[in-house]
Amino acid sequence: MMNIENIEETALLTVERQDFDSDIFGRPVYRLKIRGGGKGLAEALSDLVRAWVGKDIALCVCRIPAADTDSALALEAAGFRRIECLVTLTCDLAAWRIPITGVDLAWPADLGACIAIARSAFSLDRLHTDPFIPNEIADRQKEAWVRSGLAGGADCCFVVREAGMPVGFLLCRIVAGAAVADLLAVAPAHRRQGHGRRLMEAALAHYAGGYPSLRVATQDSNRDAISVYRRLGFRESGAQLTYHFTPPPG
């Protein structure tokens, strides 16, 4: 039987503690990576689940390729619940030449407004759609994401303004040498005015010439966003299923 503390690895599974989410939940959060399949996967997952029964663990998260039916069945049999299908889209920046107006970089004084947007704008992400997770924790995670990004965790934060105040923002990062649109939000009262598109166009213009592509990920249920991304030249480059497991109390 497994004894999970901080990091454990077997022939089929790797479990890593997620410090960022653990701080938000106030209890340990883990990420599970499946390293192999076959007949032993179901048994390995069963051992993992038994090791966690009665432990003070908030959540375990696992992402697998959407086409990995065997792992999906094994996770569900072990008590993991499917939360979302996360679609990754990638845009080739080689020919991006569109000039952008009406978007600028965030100032330190924009932090409060961006936090307010982040706490009100999301409903389709994995934390908000999981009925086992209170919305306050999901909102707190988005707030912490913004705080970390504006404190230097992001490469850039673009904002679109009305009357001088941010009504939408886009955090971007550089991950393993690639440009990534990490977190995009528009205040609910200011949607359907093209702000999200302008923010993404600003990121495309900013990274063109420095990086070959920009990628973004969103839930397959977020059809409006996917439609906008496709019109900007993004094409689907992958899809993953997200699973959550909440250990029973005992």
Residue ranges covered by each domain of the chain: 7-79, 91-238
- For the chain, the farthest-separated pair of C-alpha atoms sits apart, in whole angstroms, at 60
pLDDT value at residue 159: 97
CA dist., res. 4 & res. 151, Å (int): 32
C-alpha to C-alpha distances, 247 to 25, 28, 79, 145, nearest whole angstrom:
14, 11, 9, 25
Res 99: pLDDT = 65
Query: Which of 23, 70, 77 lies closest to 46, judged by CA?
Result: 77
Q: What pLDDT score does 95 carry?
A: 74
Of 10, 53, 50, which is closest to residue 32 (Cα–Cα)?
Answer: 10
CATH architecture assigned to 91-238: 3-Layer(aba) Sandwich (3.40)
Query: 212 — phi, psi (to 5°)?
Result: -75, -25
Contacts of residue 86, defined as CB under 8 A and 6 or more positions apart, other chains included, come to 63, 126, 217, 218, 219, 220, 239, 240, 241, 242
pLDDT of residue 2: 46
Non-local (6+) Cβ contacts of 101 within 8 A are: none
For residues 41 and 190, what is the distance between their CA atoms, to the nearest angstrom?
47
**What are the distances in angstroms from CA 121 to CA 125, 146, 187, 208?**
10, 13, 6, 28
Alpha carbon distance 233, 44 (integer Å): 42
Quick one: CA torsion of 117, 175, 86, 229, rounded to 10 degrees? 70
pLDDT, tens digit only, all 250 positions of the chain = 344 554 456 678 999 999 999 999 999 999 999 987 777 899 999 999 998 888 889 999 999 999 999 999 999 999 999 999 999 999 999 877 776 778 999 999 999 999 999 999 999 999 999 999 999 999 999 999 999 999 999 999 999 999 999 999 999 999 998 999 999 999 999 999 999 999 999 999 999 988 999 999 999 999 999 999 999 999 999 999 999 999 887 6
> What pLDDT is stored for residue 8 in this prediction?
59
- Model pTM? 0.91
> What is the C-alpha to C-alpha distance for residues 217 and 201, in angstroms, rounded to an integer?
16
Cα separation, 87 vs 220, whole angstroms: 6
Rounded Cα distance, 15 and 4, in Å: 8
Per the document, the length of the chain is: 250
